[in-house]
Structure 1
Amino acid sequence: MATASAFAGLSSVLCISGTFPANILCQFHTGHRDSHTGAGSPPVVISCGSLSFPPNGNKIGTLTVYGATAIFTCNSGYTLVGSHVRECLANGLWSGPETRCLAITCGHPGNPAHGLTNGSEFNLNDVVNFTCSPGYLLQGASRAQCRSNGQWSSPLPTCRAHGSRLGEEFKAKSLLRFSCEMGYQLRGSAERTCLLNGSWSGLQPVCEAVSCGNPGTPAHGRIVSSDGVLFSSSVVYACWDGYRTSGLTTRHCTANGTWTGTAPDCTLISCGDPGTLANRIQFGTNFTFNKTVSYQCNPGYTMEPATSPTIRCTKDSTWNHSKPTCKGDNLSIKKFSPM
């Protein structure tokens, strides 16, 4: 709808936003019946042109005329920069800045003091691992993952020394003494003096974890897990199938450089002699794991139940089923009995 106003023979027309004026009717107010229709152009709908899909994103909305809107989203692992919603304006332009989808990144988390960060990718779901230099203990999470909010799942850990220093003066002739925690031994100089030339005597001390050496592997067994041979490390044993474990299955490296306990013994599982009965013959004299014993009835006797005549020793020290029995009737027994 258009509205018009006139003053001193001049007219003005106001159209709703987004359209041009069409035919214009001018009529005298003095009662004349003559009228004049202006040669205006037909209505033209304003178009802002199409908007493309942002790389790694999506767009909802296909109209491009005045008042139309387009909604943008980004694929998983990407964050939206720019306008989430854009509208076609009366001037034929889209509102807001261009929409872009940028890969989510957490950036390099940094290196802990006296440690390192291992990892070269820092985008969504990437993982980095933290380690400490020899002589330092990691406090905090040893790994972190980049989350969808652009933050690492864990803060940067710290690397704490396994020892202490006695002395806070660093002037000429000052003496510093160093010591290590239990389970760690000092490598370097336990005492250092500030020399007149501005340097320290001796070697930089380092506290290294005590090593317990190889814990050994039991005969007929294996190590199923181990986190090293240094102080506070653990080792877990297991016996081969068919062998029973006797003793501790877990050992720990102690502060004095020895493993707790001894490696377990692995003994072959035995089911024991299943025994013999009259009227049948037994084949097999080895009653250990996975070995078999078979039976055969004497002439004139029938095996009951009519199952397999062979039994097998299982890992729980039992035979897989009961041994069969041999039964016969008097006629059959008499028939096969020696005269």
Structure 2
Amino acid sequence: DKKQMPTCVPSKCQEPPLLLHDLVLQEITSELGVVKFSCREGYVLQGSPVLRCLPSRHWNDSFPVCKLVLCPKPPDIDYGEPGSVPSVHYGSKVQYSCMDGFLLQGQAEITCNADGEWSPDLPNCVPVECPQPDEILNGIVDVQGLTYLSSVLYTCKPGFELIGNATLICGADGHWLGGMPVCKPVKCRPAREIPNGKSSSYSLHFGQTVTYSCSKGFWLEGQPILTCLETGEWDADTPVCKEIACDPPDAIENGFVEGADYRYGAVIIYSCMPGFQLTGPAIQ
């Protein structure tokens, strides 16, 4: 029988622990027995990247290891904070949020990339701003600021009273809290009725008037026209109607007067003593 001739083959070293060390093998075909190692994305090589298999069937160095890329602690931002994450390795994601009254500008989420850095750029927290508050009819607006928790104060012009909240607060959502007030004319109390007289008025609001007059046989004591003031009071006391009364009649010589009622509408009668004749009207 023909015997098989022996051959010489290159020495073979131990298989690299690719899975155990998360390695990627790149053989160098131009040089026998030499291998090159690399890592998957997100991993970094620790150790020698190139090993040579020696005639002794041992590698000239220990196998490298691929370690997961780590990022630094997520940075803090003014008026905001990063969410908690269990680890900060390649692919980890962090969500940022802002304090009440601040609005997030930019990407809320950042990711740990293969270079060990966070991307994209960090977001910013900017103060929430409310719009310019509305004017109110017959009112005055005092704006203290437009940012979160700033206030606006409403007052009314003279002769008007505020109905609703005088102060509004800029809320965390950028809207004014408290509801818009209104200014309504100051109202005076109803005009008081007077005996033997009457009043006429069409409105009881600031600047309006009430006019008093008396019945026949009475005269008005006091101010006939009252004006409603900005304080809600009338500018004078209510007048009164007093009965008209004449002064006692003058006596006449050689005659006398009959009648003791001197009120409006009453009559007196003049007459003469015997032997005298009345000249002029006897009844007044």
TM-score, normalising length from structure 2?
A: 0.50
Bigger RCO of structures 1 and 2 (CA < 8 A, at least 6 apart): 2
In our comparison, the structure showing a higher alpha carbon Rg is 2
TM-score, normalised via structure 1 length = 0.43
